Homo-oligomer: A and B are copies of this chain.
Amino acid sequence: MGSQHTDDNLAENVSLSSMRSHELVDSEEFKRQGYMVIDFIADYYRNIEKYPVRSQADPGYLSERLPESAPNNPEPIEAILQDIQNDIIPGLTHWQSPTHFAYFPSTISTAGFLGEMLTTGFNVVGFSWVSSPAATELESLVMNWLGKMLELPKCFLYSSGGGSGGGVIQGTTCEAILCTVTAARDQMLNKVGRENIGKLVVYGSDQTHCGTQKAAQIAGINPNNCRAIATMKATNFGLSPHSLLSTILKDIESGLIPFFLCATIGTTSTTAVDPIGPLCEVAKKYGIWVHVDAAYAGSACICPEFRHFIDGVEDADSFSLNAHKWFFTNMDCCCLWVKDSSALINALSTNPEYLKNKATESKQVIDFKDWQICLSRRFRALKLWLILRSYGVSNLRSFIRNHVKMAKQLEGIIAMDKRFEIVVPRTFSMVCFRLKVETICDPKLHANTNGGTNHIEDPMNELNQKLLESINASGRVYMSHAMIEGIYIIRFPVGATLTEERHLHATWKLVQEHASTILCALGGNIIDHEREE
């Protein structure tokens, strides 16, 4: 039988170049180049403090350095690594720097790295159990291990005695929330009818991560039906169950249908904690799915002394944390547990003929493709398993405790300089501070509206924005900001893998110096008066 197209004869007339694909992982060359890259990365970590933490590259810098088209012929790894050193590293913002304090930490570890290497090496695609049983089974196992470390209620774990709970590794919290929103949406639409999709309402606070709003939009929820309930500094920016209740009641009165609440343990702006138990109590009355987003702070809950922050989780429907944030797991690894996996499966399963197999039909196995957005999936459980085994529960708790201890010390040090204010009490390992002087009346400052945010009106906010930009421009440290109740705050999360106490001291000294310079320019008298050291 002939081929449909004959034009690939052309291909055969083109003389095949010397290389065939099976040479692509030639053992000796794989080892030689592999060692070389291991050395390169080890050197990178050793030298990381030499680089400006926030890249100083200008927009478009790379297109000026690299060619416009791919090369026709092979180039040696040595040349490529040289270009990475010369052209890529200057464009990196060094998340692994011990003085990278922007956003939240993106932790690493040798075990996490090795786990990724093995995942990449095996390169199996674990969509169904049969497509690599170990990928599915190790994932179930480590999600149970981690679930037990967090003292998650048994209903979130896989049990040999039945039950439909369990954990699954997603890429990020955005993905995890999109899956749970979709499951919750379909569960509700099955009750009230699909035609009511436009009436569904999602709840969160004004501190909830933007990923929830985005997930709701992707899932077809009317953007007008996403409630960001106001929180207050007085209650440490936790979502009030009373506010939730009154918002729900108002929506129901308007003919809308509440269906999803995202409660947060450790918000992005200030690591605020929503009271899960009381929130679930309200939500349950209205059949609302409660997701607990503990992306950053969830890791702390492996320490018994922090576990109380997720008290009440037994009444929630799903819970997630990002092991790639504060659990020493290289990107990406979001751990999601659900109580009722059938809700996920009903919303996300597909069953095309080309994937049918006996194992699936036996109903004795999990096919994780039905627990996530994508079909294909990497064997991410390996890195989590390596981390848990290489360090053990006791060291992992120590790492977390040491970060919290350092943050506590930092909080004390900052409090000693009366020019600064700690804006909200520290809960985990992040300190939120700002420069606060009694009066500012410098017209130069008011004239200088150099972008960055739209909410800079208060001169104190402008002052802090200027301070932050000045610190970051130094290249010695990178921090980021948030805005709460109209107050511009500088966030200082401790938790990068390489951070030691000395880095905190050096960073704080730098902040003080930049503050002095800025205040000096405004009229120095107040400064020495207010500073106590």
Q: Which residue of B lies closest to A324 (CB)?
A: B376
The answer for the CA separation of A491 and B308 in the assembled complex, in Å, is 54
Q: Which residues of B contact A138 (CB under 8 A)?
A: 62, 66, 88, 91
B210 touches A107 (CB 8 A): no
The reply to whether the CB of A319 lies closer than 8 angstroms to some CB of chain B is no
Q: Which residue of B lies closest to A75 (CB)?
A: B389
A236 touches B4 (CB 8 A): yes
B175 touches A133 (CB 8 A): no
The answer for the CA separation of A7 and B219 in the assembled complex, in Å, is 40
B134 touches A70 (CB 8 A): no
- Least distance between A237 CB and chain B CB atoms (Å): 11
B41 touches A121 (CB 8 A): yes
The reply to whether the CB of A282 lies closer than 8 angstroms to some CB of chain B is no
The reply to whether the CB of A482 lies closer than 8 angstroms to some CB of chain B is yes
Q: Which residues of B contact A135 (CB under 8 A)?
A: 91-92
A96 touches B122 (CB 8 A): yes
B1 touches A27 (CB 8 A): no
Q: Which residues of B contact A454 (CB under 8 A)?
A: 356
Q: Select A388's contact among B71, B90, B308, B455, beta carbons within 8 Å.
A: B71
Q: Which residue of B lies closest to A224 (CB)?
A: B194
A17 touches B93 (CB 8 A): no
A488-525 vs B, Cβ < 8 Å mask (1 yes, 0 no) = 00010000011110000000000000000000000000
- Least distance between A218 CB and chain B CB atoms (Å): 5
A137 touches B63 (CB 8 A): yes
The reply to whether the CB of A113 lies closer than 8 angstroms to some CB of chain B is yes
The reply to whether the CB of A131 lies closer than 8 angstroms to some CB of chain B is yes
The answer for the CA separation of A148 and B71 in the assembled complex, in Å, is 12
Q: Select A131's contact among B103, B129, B332, beta carbons within 8 Å.
A: B103
- Least distance between A343 CB and chain B CB atoms (Å): 14
B306 touches A8 (CB 8 A): yes
The answer for the CA separation of A391 and B303 in the assembled complex, in Å, is 49
Q: Which residues of B contact A403 (CB under 8 A)?
A: 21
- Least distance between A386 CB and chain B CB atoms (Å): 6
B71 touches A217 (CB 8 A): no
The reply to whether the CB of A232 lies closer than 8 angstroms to some CB of chain B is no
Please indicate which of the listed interface residues A88, A220, A365 has the most CB atoms of chain B within 10 Å of its own CB. Answer: A220
A334-378 vs B, Cβ < 8 Å mask (1 yes, 0 no) = 000000000000011011111111110110110000000111101
B331 touches A77 (CB 8 A): no
- Least distance between A200 CB and chain B CB atoms (Å): 9
The answer for the CA separation of A89 and B137 in the assembled complex, in Å, is 12
Given A116-B120, A137-B91: A24 and B373 interface contact (C-beta under 8 Å): no
The reply to whether the CB of A34 lies closer than 8 angstroms to some CB of chain B is yes
The reply to whether the CB of A39 lies closer than 8 angstroms to some CB of chain B is yes
Residues 138-156 of A at the B interface (beta carbon under 8 Å) = 138, 140-142, 144-146, 148-149
Residues 58-86 of A at the B interface (beta carbon under 8 Å) = 59-63, 66, 68-75, 77, 80, 84
- Least distance between A226 CB and chain B CB atoms (Å): 11
Q: Which residues of B contact A455 (CB under 8 A)?
A: 353
The answer for the CA separation of A71 and B378 in the assembled complex, in Å, is 24
B331 touches A66 (CB 8 A): no
Given A57-B134, A92-B135, A93-B124: A70 and B148 interface contact (C-beta under 8 Å): yes
The reply to whether the CB of A114 lies closer than 8 angstroms to some CB of chain B is yes
Q: Select A425's contact among B4, B30, B405, beta carbons within 8 Å.
A: B4
- Least distance between A233 CB and chain B CB atoms (Å): 12
5 A-B pairs in the complex with CB atoms less than 8 angstroms apart? A55-B133, A72-B393, A116-B120, A174-B373, A174-B376
